[in-house]
Homo-oligomer: A and B are copies of this chain.
Amino acid sequence: MNQASPAAHDVLAIGNAIVDVLSHADDDFLDRHGLTKGAMTLVDADRAAALYAAMGPGVEVSGGSAANTAAGIASFGGKAAFIGKVRDDQLGEVFSHDIRAAGVSFASAPAAQGEPTGRCLILVTPDAQRTMQTFLGAGGGLGPEDVDEALVAASRVTYLEGYLWDPPLAKEAFVKAAEIAAGAGRKVALSLSDSFCVDRHRAEFLDLVNNHVHILFANEAEITSLYEAGEFDEALQRVRGHCEIAALTRSEKGSVIVAGGEVHVLDAAPARQVIDTTGAGDLYAAGFLHGYTRGEDPAACGRLGGIAAAEIIGHFGARPETRLSELAAG
């Protein structure tokens, strides 16, 4: 599945640069504040401030869906780069430090004015589900001018998060990146990110999957939303042929991989404990793409995805705490 041409990076991830603010909450809290459990909702600065005032003590950890994937690739020992926008403020410094310290190449200059660095208020309920309220902040300013043509052309896979369809200019950045990648004989991967996000942008996502995306990542809710399917298998049949590879994750039921004529049904990797499911999809994508850029077969790629997802749900936060290269070797 690998390409023979030399590449400076295995995976270039493009996404919203976000610092996560994690806090425990119970279901009552979600109800009282009208929050949709398990979903990512975009909020403005005022709503973010009001929710923050109501929630309990937090822990700040760098996040962002595609950024988490990039950190996962680096943890496996792969070469990863990230494009995303922060402000020149304290949370921007935290984000930039953490992604570089994780071994990811991050060259995007912080904005000197405009909105502050984006943050995501994540409420983790006792069932380990996460409910996310995102204030995109500076991340919303990502546009085509931020896509470094040479970087895309020098990366085996350019990976994009579906959340990029929410800010106004980021989709133009995506299309630009996809065209550069295609022109350079590289691959384009997309994560659908969130079923509500798919609802907001269904027609555009269907067009993208048909015309630009080689490797699609989606969970069960997202893929059934994309095709407005009544059940998983219906969506599975629809996605075959729409892109080269679709890796569909199903939480504790494992994952299903469609690659050309092949279909692989893989069990979930055993998780030591389930503390916080934030980042499970992001890290599955990291494992899968790490295998892919190493020329592994689809089932082996899926197994690496499962290993990374099992690590991330075992603790608070969406960046690996154990080196994934060691878990993969074990």
**Chain A residues close to B by CB (< 8 Å):** 23, 52-53, 55-62, 71, 89-91, 94, 97-99, 101-102, 116-117, 317, 319
Does B60 lie within 8 Å of A101, measured CB to CB? no
Q: Which residues of chain B are near A57, meaning CB under 8 Å?
A: 62, 71, 97-99, 101-102, 319
Determine the chain B residues whose CB is within 8 A of the CB of A117 once the complex forms: 90
Do B94 and A58 have beta carbons less than 8 Å apart?
yes
Q: How far is the CB of A100 from chain B (nearest CB, A)?
A: 8
Return the chain B residue nearest A99 by Cβ: B57
**With contacts A89-B90, A90-B116, A91-B90 known, is A101 near B55, CB below 8 A?**
yes
Bound-state CA distance A329–B264 (Å) is 52
Q: List 29 A-B contacts (CB under 8 A).
A: A23-B101, A52-B97, A53-B97, A55-B101, A56-B101, A56-B102, A57-B62, A57-B71, A57-B97, A57-B98, A57-B99, A57-B101, A57-B102, A57-B319, A58-B94, A58-B97, A58-B98, A58-B101, A59-B59, A59-B60, A59-B61, A59-B317, A60-B60, A60-B61, A60-B94, A89-B89, A89-B90, A90-B91, A90-B117
Question: What are the nearest 10 A-B pairs in CB distance?
Answer: A60-B60, A57-B98, A90-B90, A57-B101, A56-B101, A57-B102, A90-B91, A59-B61, A89-B90, A59-B59
Residue of B nearest to A55 (CB): B101
A89 to B99, CA, bound (A): 22
Docked CA distance A116–B88 (Å): 14
Residues from chain B with Cβ under 8 Å of A91 in the complex: 90
Complex contacts, A60 vs chain B, CB 8 Å? 59-61, 94
Chain copies in the assembled complex: 2
Q: How far is the CA of A59 from the CA of B316 in the complex (A)?
A: 10
Using A53-B97, A56-B102 as known contacts, list a sample of 13 further A-B pairs with CB atoms less than 8 Å apart, ordered by residue number in A: A23-B101, A57-B62, A57-B98, A57-B101, A58-B98, A59-B60, A59-B317, A60-B94, A89-B90, A90-B90, A90-B91, A90-B116, A90-B117
Q: Which residue of B lies closest to A93 (CB)?
A: B52
In the assembled complex, the Cα of A98 lies from the Cα of B71 at a distance in Å of: 27
Chain B contacts of A101 at CB under 8 A?
23, 55-58
Q: In the complex, what's the smallest C-beta–C-beta distance from A320 to chain B, in angstroms?
A: 9
Q: In the assembly, what is the distance between CA of A59 and CA of B52, in Å?
A: 18
Q: A91–B58 Cα gap in the complex (Å)?
A: 12
Please, which residues of chain B bring their CB within 8 A of the CB of A317?
59
Look across to chain B and name the residue whose beta carbon is closest to the beta carbon of A98. Answer: B57
Task: Name the distance in Å between A112's Cβ and chain B's nearest Cβ.
Answer: 16
* Alpha-carbon distance A57/B322, docked complex (angstroms): 12
Q: How far is the CA of A99 from the CA of B56 in the complex (A)?
A: 9
- The complex places the Cα of A262 from the Cα of B122 at a distance, in Å, of 49
| CA distance in complex: A215, B264 (Å) | 67
Measured between alpha carbons, how far is A89 from B117 in the docked complex, in Å? Answer: 12
CA distance A239 to B61 in the complex (A): 43
Smallest distance from the beta carbon of A74 to chain B beta carbons, Å? 10
Which residues in B have their C-beta under 8 angstroms from that of A71?
A: 57
- Chain B residues contacting A56 (CB-CB under 8 Å) are 101-102
